[in-house]
């Protein structure tokens, strides 16, 4: 065995942690994620640094929370002089390759990777040419249409992921007989909405997936009430809700099958024994629980992510970890395993030793951030500054300008009972609010984001006038997106 392992790192988009067999969902057949879990360690309390795509992914790359890198929204470009784990891998003598999704805004479409294949489905630029999903237009954003136009059919997102899988298999074939370790990241779009999947994956779930288990809270938080009203999701019909949820399960099944193809190829090429395989997602999906969809909140369905690690002979098999970790810790963990330099100013911590031994000392505390600036139509014109802390059994959600939420996840894992107004928990609430605000100033963030909007408006106008070319972009054809008429 080589002293340095191969790395296969798979990152999906919007996979709710609980929708997987290895996380306890009896309805979701995920045999390939389950076999990966059986070969390694599954983390039960892994969180995203932001319940939104670009800031979560840029934070994962840099090991810094969004507020430490000024990348809060899907239109924020990460500064190119901030090193990523890919830069550190390269500095350590590796040649990191990315196949598929990155979701980076701006001219830097490599972020330290030495090689990139397939690319992204979306434009590189604020104001660049957006893709059209034709019949499924608007179903990829948090709009009512994504629930109403759902079911059996086809979306370009699934087609793109098939190309990512094919490119990954071909790339692995090219590693046959080579002795130097490889360092491969594979980025998927699934199971991100559109909630549309192939009929063969949809029909097995028909009649099996029902309405959400968790109702809208009687004391619904005023911000969340506004969010549901803004996105048109206050009065969704039951049949559309069931149809979208059913398709989500089908998308998870499709994605799991793609993971299986990659794991099978590793086995066939004799690469499994010296390969560290990591699976994670950038954030979750609420799939209708509490009347909420997509991500953009701090409920567990949105902010928790699946995280599985398998490394034969190094990590134990079929074990679980309860420690609270974050995706900003994932880069340091990979660098630790590969013997590559650490990120100089990263906030993340390697949890490699935790994966090896559950008795390893670890501070069970993490954060997640969600801030908007009014640039995106779906986000509304009211900028928000929000931050979550998870410390031990407790979760507090800070909404600037609103009351907070406080949950005891040991007694109330479904987050049904908000304890923020309970006088018995006033001391704990204030302590956690103080911890949230100790190194995070919502007013300063609001000012900084407002300043950047002025810059981004100019860049948006520039891109529309100049039409700069996209790089590493996968082409979407409108006609490839459709719904079966019999999806009901």
Q: Which of 194, 6, 214, 164 is nearest to 94 (CA)?
A: 6
Residue 296 CA to its chain's centroid (Å): 11
The pairing of beta strand 365-371 with beta strand 6-13: unpaired
Contacts of 65 (CB under 8 A, 6+ apart): 49, 50, 59, 328, 347, 367, 369
Tokens of residue 103, six digits: 């979701």
Residue 293, pLDDT score = 98
Residues 12-56 have pLDDT tens digits of 999 999 999 999 999 988 999 999 999 999 999 999 999 999 999
Is residue 340 a contact partner of residue 88, using CB atoms and an 8 Å limit?
yes
Query: What is the pTM for the complete model shown?
Result: 0.97
Is residue 124 a contact partner of residue 103, using CB atoms and an 8 Å limit?
no
Residues 436-450 have pLDDT tens digits of 999 999 999 999 999
Residue 28, pLDDT score = 84
pLDDT higher than 80, residue 433: yes
Residue 486 — very low, low, confident or very high, per pLDDT cuts 50/70/90?
very low
pLDDT higher than 80, residue 485: no
d(CA 99, CA 165): 9
- 91: alpha, beta or left? (left if phi > 0; alpha if psi -120 to 50): alpha
Block residue for tokens 């079911």: 151
Is residue 150 a contact partner of residue 194, using CB atoms and an 8 Å limit?
yes
Residue 139 — very low, low, confident or very high, per pLDDT cuts 50/70/90?
very high
Helix (H, G, I), strand (E, B) or coil at 380: coil
Helices vs strands, H then E, count in the chain: 13, 16
Residue 428 — very low, low, confident or very high, per pLDDT cuts 50/70/90?
very high
d(CA 140, CA 142): 7
Residues 75-111 have pLDDT tens digits of 999 999 999 999 999 999 999 999 999 999 999 999 9
Residues 57-78 have pLDDT tens digits of 999 999 999 999 999 999 999 9
**DSSP character string of 132-174:** --GGGTTTTSSSTHHHHS-EEEE-HHHHHHHHHHHHHHHHHHT
Averaged over 445-458, what is the pLDDT?
97
Phi, psi of 284 (to 5 degrees): -105, -160
Please give the domain boundaries of the chain with CATH numbers for all domains.
6-363+467-487 (3.40.720.10)
Q: Which of 32, 164, 122 is nearest to 476 (CA)?
A: 122
- 103: alpha, beta or left? (left if phi > 0; alpha if psi -120 to 50): left
Residues 251-309 have pLDDT tens digits of 999 999 999 999 999 999 999 999 999 999 999 999 999 999 999 999 999 999 999 99
Is residue 294 a contact partner of residue 142, using CB atoms and an 8 Å limit?
yes
Run of H or E including 61? helix 53-62
- Report the mean per-residue pLDDT for the chain: 96
């Amino acid at each position: 065995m080589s002293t340095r392992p191969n790395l296969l790192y798979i990152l999906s988009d919007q996979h709710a942690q609980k929708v997987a067999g290895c996380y306890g969902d009896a309805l979701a057949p995920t045999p390939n994620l389950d076999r990966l879990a059986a070969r390694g360690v599954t983390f039960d309390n892994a969180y995203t640094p932001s319940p939104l795509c670009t800031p979560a992914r840029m934070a994962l790359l840099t090991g810094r929370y969004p507020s430490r890198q000024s990348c809060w929204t899907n239109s924020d470009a990460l500064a190119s002089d901030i090193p990523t784990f890919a830069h550190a891998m390269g500095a350590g003598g590796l040649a990191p390759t990315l196949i598929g999704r990155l979701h980076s805004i701006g001219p830097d479409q490599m972020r330290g990777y030495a090689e990139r294949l397939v690319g992204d489905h979306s434009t590189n630029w604020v104001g660049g040419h957006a893709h059209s999903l034709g019949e499924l237009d608007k179903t990829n954003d948090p709009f009512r249409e994504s629930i109403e136009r759902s079911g059996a059919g086809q979306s370009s997102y699934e087609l793109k992921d098939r190309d990512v899988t094919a490119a990954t298999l071909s790339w692995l074939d090219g590693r046959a007989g080579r002795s130097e370790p490889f360092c491969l990241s594979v980025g998927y779009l699934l199971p991100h909405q559109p909630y549309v999947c192939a009929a063969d994956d949809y029909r097995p779930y028909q009649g099996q997936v029902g309405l959400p288990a968790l109702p809208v809270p009687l004391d619904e938080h005023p911000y969340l009430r506004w969010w549901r009203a803004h996105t048109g999701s206050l009065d969704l019909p039951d049949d559309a809700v069931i149809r979208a949820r059913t398709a989500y399960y089908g998308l998870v099944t499709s994605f799991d099958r793609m993971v299986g193809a990659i794991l099978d190829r590793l086995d066939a090429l004799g690469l499994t024994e010296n390969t560290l395989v990591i699976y994670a997602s950038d954030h979750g999906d609420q799939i209708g629980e509490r009347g909420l969809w997509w991500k953009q909140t701090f409920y567990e369905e949105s902010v928790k992510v699946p995280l599985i690690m398998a490394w034969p002979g190094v990590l134990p098999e079929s074990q679980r970890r309860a420690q609270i970790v974050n995706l900003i810790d994932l880069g340091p963990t990979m660098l630790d395993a590969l013997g590559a330099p650490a990120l100089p100013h990263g906030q993340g911590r390697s949890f490699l030793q935790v994966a090896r031994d559950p008795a390893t000392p670890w501070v069970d505390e993490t954060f997640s951030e969600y801030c908007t600036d009014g640039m995106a139509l779906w986000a509304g014109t009211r900028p928000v500054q929000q931050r979550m802390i998870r410390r031990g059994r407790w979760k507090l959600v800070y909404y600037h300008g609103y009351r907070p939420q406080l949950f005891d996840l040991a007694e109330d894992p479904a987050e049904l009972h908000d304890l923020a107004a309970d006088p018995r928990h006033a001391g704990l609430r204030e302590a956690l609010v103080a911890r949230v605000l100790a190194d995070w100033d919502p007013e300063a963030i609001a000012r900084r984001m407002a300043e950047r909007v002025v810059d981004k408006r100019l860049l948006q106008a520039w891109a529309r006038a100049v039409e700069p070319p996209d790089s590493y972009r996968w082409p979407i054809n409108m006609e490839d997106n459709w719904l079966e008429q019999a999806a009901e």
